[in-house]
C-alpha cells in the first residue's frame, strides 16, 4: 500500500549562490506544496559565502514554511554542510540538491512519489534511460566526458545496476541515516553513500531527469583537467577503498 508522505526537509548546501538561492527556495516549496505535502522545511546551509548568499536566504519567507539558514564559518565543505543539514532537519523525508538550478526542483515530486510507493531512497539520474544533461561554458565538454567515464568505472567496480554515482539529487527516508552516514569531502560522498545503502539492502530507485546549465554564478567543479583531477582523485580513492570492501566481504 502506498504510504503518504506528510513532511519534507530540503537541504540546500550553498557557496556563492546569491543569484540563485531566493528563486530556488520559492520554486522548491511551490512544487512540493503542489503535491499536497503539508509540512515543508528549507535549510540553507551556507559556507560563509563571500557573496552573502546566507544573508539573501535569511530574507526569504514563505507562508507556513520554516526557512532556516545555517551559516557555517568554519570546517567548510559540501559533505560537512550536508551532515549539518541532516542533523538540523526535523521532517520524515530529507531531500538535497545542487543550488544552481542544474538540479531542477520540478523533478523533486517524482522522487517523493517513489518513496510513497515503498522505496527508501530515490535518486534523480542523468544516466538512466530518459535522462541526460546539457552543459555550457568553459570546460563543459571535458566535464561531461569525465563524468561519464567516472560513472562507467564506478559501475564496473561496484554495483553495475546503479547508474549515476555522481548525482547528488536525492530524497531519503530519515531512518536510512540510522545505518548509513555521509563520508567524504566533496562529491565522492555520494558514491560512498549509495554503495553502503545498497549493501545494507535499502530499496533504491533511479528516475530520469535532464541536468540543466547553472543559471548564474560559477561551477565549483572547475573548468580544466588539472582542477578536475584535484577533485577526481578523491573519487578514485573512494572507489578503490569500496572495491577492497567488496573483495573482502563480497556484494
Q: Give residue-wise pLDDT tens across range 100-146.
A: 999 999 999 999 999 999 999 999 999 999 999 986 554 456 667 77
Q: How confident is the model at residue 72 (pLDDT cuts 50, 70, 90)?
A: very high
Residue 229 lies inside a defined structural domain of this protein = yes
Residue 117 lies inside a defined structural domain of this protein = yes
**Tell me, what's the pLDDT at 18?**
97
227: left (phi over 0), alpha (psi -120 to 50) or beta: alpha
> What domain range includes position 77?
7-249
Between 141 and 156, name the one with better pLDDT: 156
Query: Please, what's the b/e burial string for 142-167 (b: 16 or more CB within 10 A of its CB; e: otherwise)?
Result: bbbebbeebbeebbeebbeebbbbbb
Between 154 and 125, name the one with better pLDDT: 125
Residue 239 lies inside a defined structural domain of this protein = yes
Residue 102 lies inside a defined structural domain of this protein = yes
Residue 155 lies inside a defined structural domain of this protein = yes
For residue 230, the SS3 value is helix
CATH code, domain carrying 24: 3.90.550.10
Residue 37 lies inside a defined structural domain of this protein = yes
What does pTM read for this prediction?
0.91
Residue 1 lies inside a defined structural domain of this protein = no
Which residues lie closer than 8 Å to 236 by C-beta, 6 or more apart? none
**Where do the H-state alpha helices sit in 40-174?**
53-58, 78-88, 108-116, 140-157
**Tell me, what's the pLDDT at 126?**
95
Quote the number of domains for the chain: 1
Q: 177: closest CA among 91, 249, 67? A: 91
Amino acid at each position: 500500500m502506498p504510504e503518504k508522505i506528510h513532511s519534507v526537509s530540503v537541504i540546500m548546501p550553498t557557496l556563492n549562490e546569491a543569484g540563485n538561492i531566493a528563486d530556488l527556495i520559492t520554486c522548491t516549496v511551490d512544487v512540493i506544496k503542489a503535491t499536497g505535502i503539508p509540512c515543508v522545511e528549507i535549510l540553507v546551509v551556507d559556507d560563509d559565502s563571500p557573496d552573502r548568499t546566507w544573508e539573501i536566504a535569511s530574507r526569504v519567507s514563505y507562508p507556513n514554511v520554516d526557512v532556516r539558514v545555517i551559516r557555517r564559518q568554519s570546517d567548510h565543505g559540501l559533505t560537512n554542510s550536508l551532515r549539518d543539514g541532516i542533523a538540523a532537519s526535523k521532517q520524515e523525508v530529507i531531500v538535497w540538491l545542487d543550488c544552481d538550478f542544474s538540479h531542477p526542483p520540478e523533478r523533486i515530486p517524482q522522487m517523493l512519489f517513489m518513496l510513497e510507493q515503498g522505496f527508501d531512497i530515490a535518486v534523480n539520474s542523468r544516466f538512466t534511460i530518459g535522462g541526460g544533461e546539457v552543459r555550457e561554458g568553459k570546460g563543459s565538454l571535458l566535464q561531461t566526458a569525465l563524468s561519464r567515464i567516472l560513472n562507467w568505472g564506478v559501475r564496473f567496480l561496484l554495483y553495475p545496476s546503479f547508474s549515476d554515482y555522481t548525482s547528488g539529487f536525492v530524497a531519503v527516508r530519515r531512518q536510512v541515516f540510522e545505518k548509513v552516514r555521509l563520508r567524504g569531502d566533496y562529491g565522492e560522498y555520494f558514491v560512498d553513500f549509495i554503495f553502503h545503502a545498497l549493501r545494507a539492502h535499502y530499496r533504491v530507485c533511479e528516475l530520469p531527469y535532464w541536468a540543466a546549465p547553472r543559471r548564474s554564478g560559477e561551477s565549483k567543479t572547475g573548468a580544466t583537467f588539472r582542477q578536475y583531477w584535484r577533485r577526481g582523485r578523491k573519487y578514485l580513492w573512494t572507489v578503490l577503498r569500496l572495491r577492497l570492501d567488496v573483495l573482502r566481504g563480497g556484494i
